[in-house]
Amino acid sequence: MSRLEEAFRAAKRDKRAAFVPYVTAGDPSLERTVDIAHALVRCGADVLELGVPFSDPVADGLTNQRAAERALAAGTSLAGVLAAVKVLRQGLDVPIVLFSYANPIVRYGIEEFTRDASDAGVDGVLFTDVPVEEMSLFEEPLAAAGLDPIMLVTPTSDRQRMKATARFGSGFLYLVSRTGVTGVQRDLDAELEANVRAARRASKLPVAVGFGISTPEQVAQVAALADGVVVGSAIVSRIGALGDCEELVDEVEKFASTLAAACRR
């Protein structure tokens, strides 16, 4: 059983949705990302999602775009992110998923990336801009390295597309909560419950919902429906506002603790 499978099963046994926090690796620095990751695990993260900064993040809203800009300005590279994962693996056993666009990985070298990611301790990779029809380029290298391809489905995905996407993926199925880009939203999509049901019918994988979930109240709403809750922009926004200050890690941990607690059903 993979770490991702065990994480979702453990959360289910504990009568809660898995808490999946996202941060942009390298914002404000890779050293601080390591510190923040440890804090997120202390407060209850079941899976860590690390964003690989990219200069043209078309699936991201302004908050994550600015975080990627700060990380790149700080000198963050894909090799640096993998080195940070290796450091995290010395003290953490939680699953780690890299959230990346295709470009950094293709430039790195697909086979070299999958080998190095596996060696570093990465469990899964989510490509934000690669549809299932184009995943064949990555399929064999990911499988050879034992990395789970985490696939995205959206509210506009019909049942046939959801099934095709779910068949390709493993670890969990990531359901985008709404159409559009990442970023805080005031209200959850009125069709979210129906979309979660459709994803469950299409896949035997755990279903985690992300994009725009930003408050404990919203986390609790999603946790009642799905197997996992992904929170990104709300955490990233706090990191951006605080910057590399002494209180950064403690403040992120306090906020994330309220989100993790809301995952309990």
In tens, the pLDDT along 140-185 reads 999 999 999 999 999 989 889 999 999 999 999 999 986 654 545 6
Token pair, residue 18, equals 């898995």
60 counts as catalytic:
yes
pLDDT band at 100 (very low <50, low <70, confident <90, very high): very high
CA angle 19, 192, 169 (to 5 degrees): 60
In tens, the pLDDT along 17-60 reads 999 999 999 999 999 999 999 999 999 999 999 999 999 998 88
Task: Give the pairing of strands 18-24 and 48-51.
Answer: parallel
Percent of the chain predicted with pLDDT > 90: 89
Least Cα distance to 81 among 25, 23, 20 occurs for 25
Contacts of 10 (CB under 8 A, 6+ apart): 46
* Res 184: pLDDT: 56
**CA pair distance 29, 13, nearest whole angstrom:** 36
* Res 185: pLDDT: 60
**Burial classification of residue 160, based on how many CB atoms lie within 10 Å of its CB (0-12 exposed, 13-18 middle, 19 or more buried):** exposed
Residue 191, number of CB atoms within 10 A of its CB: 12
* Sign of the CA dihedral running 124, 129, 131, 135: negative
In tens, the pLDDT along 105-127 reads 999 999 999 999 999 999 999 99
| Residue among 27, 46, 60, 148 flagged as catalytic | 60
| Residue among 46, 49, 116, 253 flagged as catalytic | 49
* Res 1: pLDDT: 78
* Res 55: pLDDT: 95
pLDDT band at 187 (very low <50, low <70, confident <90, very high): low
Q: How many residues does the chain have?
A: 265
- Three-state SS sequence of 123-169: CEEEECCCCHHHCHHHHHHHHHHCCEEEEEECCCCCHHHHHHHHHHC
Percent of the chain predicted with pLDDT > 70: 96
CATH superfamily of 3-262: Aldolase class I (3.20.20.70)
